[in-house]
């Protein structure tokens, strides 16, 4: 296909509640399909939620982990994608050979098309690191996956591009947390609770150095420097006790934002990408 309609989603996950999170994934996938999307991408560990796992024991994480073949969550994704005739990308906790991975899958036409394990899974000492880059074909496009911090290592993006990727999916749970960079920090919970009465104050925080402005320091550069499309996803609201700013976006090979979520609610946006820009 010379062009592709990509949906990137945001929603507020519930900690460890796979049934609820999958229901939101299904709802947004259905709506995106009705709006003409060929595929929809969700954030890192969107099926289980992410941040809360930092405080879990190995046994507690194991209770959430699933085999990719026999696990009910991935099969549910396959069923949703098959019913709607749309490709879906989402993240879960994988169990394989006694090891636990932060894994992201692409499902399409009744099967798992691709699987990627996060290379830098520092959220929990019980999670093992992935050890390979992934490039796969989806709807006529060569696609790659890099999860959250994997994208901050510029060589990971270069390596994936050199393997043939034209589009990289970048599922995240990021933003609004402290770091060494000046201006990075948490966003006050009061602003989130008061978001309907005073949306401007919260949007200013989300758009500033704690959130969107930090993303724009490096995310468009990954697309521009490698001449590829980027599909960035991120939750909105709370993931664990950390407030996240959303701003899921599709970026073209020139580093231009084609479409971006700017709501405080669960939603998605669609962008049309074209082969001639590569």
The reported pLDDT for the residue numbered 63 is: 97
Please report the beta strands in 201-262, taking only residues with DSSP state E, as ranges in sequence order: 229-233, 236-239, 242-245, 249-251, 257-260
Tell me the longest C-alpha to C-alpha distance in the chain.
Answer: 50
Low-confidence spans in the chain with pLDDT less than 50? none
The reported pLDDT for the residue numbered 126 is: 98
The reported pLDDT for the residue numbered 218 is: 96
pTM (whole model) above 0.85:
yes
CA distance 34 to 48: 26
Query: Do residues 156 and 129 lie in contact, with contact meaning Cβ atoms separated by under 8 Å?
Result: no
Query: Do residues 11 and 32 lie in contact, with contact meaning Cβ atoms separated by under 8 Å?
Result: no
Q: What is the dihedral of CA 124, 128, 129, 130, to 10 degrees?
A: -130
Question: How far, in whole angstroms, is CA 45 from its chain's centroid?
Answer: 8
Query: Do residues 120 and 102 lie in contact, with contact meaning Cβ atoms separated by under 8 Å?
Result: no
Angle between helices 72-84 and 18-34 (to 10 degrees): 20
């Amino acid at each position: 296909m010379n062009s592709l309609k990509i949906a990137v989603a945001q929603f507020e996950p519930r900690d460890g509640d796979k049934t609820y999170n999958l229901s939101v994934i299904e709802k947004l996938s259905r709506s995106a399909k009705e709006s003409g999307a060929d595929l929809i991408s969700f954030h890192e560990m969107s099926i289980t939620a992410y941040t809360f796992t930092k405080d879990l024991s190995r046994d507690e994480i194991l209770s959430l982990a699933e085999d990719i073949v026999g696990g009910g969550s991935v099969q549910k994704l396959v069923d949703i994608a098959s019913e709607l005739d749309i490709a879906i990308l989402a993240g879960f906790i994988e169990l394989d050979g006694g090891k636990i991975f932060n894994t992201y899958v692409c499902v399409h036409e009744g099967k798992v098309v691709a699987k990627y394990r996060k290379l830098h899974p520092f959220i929990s000492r019980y999670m093992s690191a992935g050890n390979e880059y992934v490039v796969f074909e989806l709807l006529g496009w060569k696609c790659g996956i890099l999860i959250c911090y994997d994208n901050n290592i510029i060589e990971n993006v270069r390596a994936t591009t050199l393997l043939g990727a034209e589009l990289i999916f970048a599922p995240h749970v990021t933003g609004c947390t402290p770091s060494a960079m000046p201006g990075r920090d948490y966003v006050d919970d009061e602003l989130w609770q008061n978001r309907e009465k005073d949306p401007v104050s919260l949007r200013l925080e989300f758009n500033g150095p704690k959130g969107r402005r930090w993303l724009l320091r490096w995310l468009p550069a990954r697309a521009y420097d490698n001449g590829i499309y980027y599909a960035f996803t991120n939750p909105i609201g709370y993931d664990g006790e950390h407030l996240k700013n959303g701003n899921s976006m599709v970026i073209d090979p020139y580093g231009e934002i084609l479409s971006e979520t700017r709501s405080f609610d669960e939603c998605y946006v669609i962008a049309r990408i074209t082969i001639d820009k590569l």
